[in-house]
Amino acid sequence: MTARRHYVTDPRSTERAYSRAVVTTAGRTIWLAGQTASAAADFDSQTREVFATLDATIKSAGGSGLRDMVTMTVFINDPRYGDRFVALRKEIFGESFPASALITVSGFARPGVLIEIQGVAVTQDAAG
């Protein structure tokens, strides 16, 4: 059975590059641990690296990649990165955004980390 998705959006969520909800039927669920990137990189580079790691992880678990993500929790250590993160998420996801929370934290377990993302993906194929 092929997984189906319905993205629940409104003007505000579309502007901020997330869906209020993502409704799925069928498919397999992949629970993604929080991912961080090389602490030596800047915010854009860390964000791209985290998304690349999530993409590879979803593929290694039998999914299609980032397009399978239905929700994510994003942790940043500086609220000034919020708008930049939204711009990067728009670039990476196009028009089908996962449901999301964006949370500012005071720090991470490793010095130099600027962002961490955890999430859930639902594959298009229930087999596997």
**What is the residue-level pLDDT of the chain in tens, covering all 128 positions?**
567 888 999 999 999 999 999 998 888 999 999 999 987 789 999 999 999 999 999 999 999 999 999 999 999 999 999 999 999 999 999 988 999 999 999 999 999 999 999 999 999 765 44
φ, ψ of residue 117 in degrees (nearest 5): -130, 130
CATH number at residue 99: 3.30.1330.40
The span from the CA of 89 to the CA of 97, in Å, is 8
In a domain, 127, yes or no: no
User: Domain range spanning residue 30?
Assistant: 4-122
In a domain, 16, yes or no: yes
**69 domain residue, yes or no:** yes
Cα Rg of the chain (Å, integer): 14
- Residue 128 belongs to a domain: no
Three-state secondary structure readout of 73-97: EEEECCHHHHHHHHHHHHHHHCCCC
pTM score, whole prediction: 0.88
- Asked, for residue 67, whether it belongs to a domain, the answer is yes
Residue 50 lies in a domain: yes
Number of domains in the chain: 1
Phi and psi at 106, nearest 5°, equal -85, -15
On whether residue 37 sits in a domain, the answer given is yes
